Chain A
């Protein structure tokens, strides 16, 4: 089992460019999450999904969009990147909701927006 796989690992964008981060999990988890991690701050939830075809906003959703067309995949899109979106992005999945089951994390994507 690969667990949670994120691609790409690194990316540099110019302001205004777009990109999509891909998260794939092979554990048949219903719940998937996108977080960002910035220096001096805890992980913050961007968007999450409670099942195939559903998405919901987290704490810091502005500037991002997501899609969950297949249960195993959760995509995070930046339509027009801004320097404030420079961060490390983590995808995670869990088998139940309400924070009552362990999270499985991907290895992260380091994004720099210049």
Chain B
């Protein structure tokens, strides 16, 4: 069983839709990261959170430590949001990150 599971693997949405990407993990952690990888390949950090909720523009990330679950929400989605979204937790040896396989999001105009 993978230590970090993301769902769905692929997601297609129409512009303007509300999007939710889920991340479940099986190890003890103190921080969870959401990353975005654009079609060009570069990876950027969106959020790092250890409890509650964080918001940045149209993106919202939540985490429930007790349930070992996090969600990434995108409100009013736009084609430029098309990317792979990656969840990672610091549950590895020495606190190193364990990565999920990513969720590929495609937003159609």
- A interface residues, Cβ below 8 angstroms from B: 33, 40-45, 48, 56, 58-59, 88, 90, 92, 97-105, 107-108, 110
Contact = CB atoms under 8 A, between A and B. Distances in A.
B50 to A, nearest CB: 8
B71 to A, nearest CB: 18
* Interface size of B as a range: 20 to 34
Contacts, number: 72
Contact of A108 (B2, B31, B42, B101): B42
Interface of B: 2, 4, 29-31, 33, 35, 40-45, 48, 86, 88-90, 92, 94-102
Nearest to A43: B99
Given A40-B101, A43-B99, A48-B96, A103 B42 contact: no
Contacts of B45: 102-105
A56 B94 contact: yes
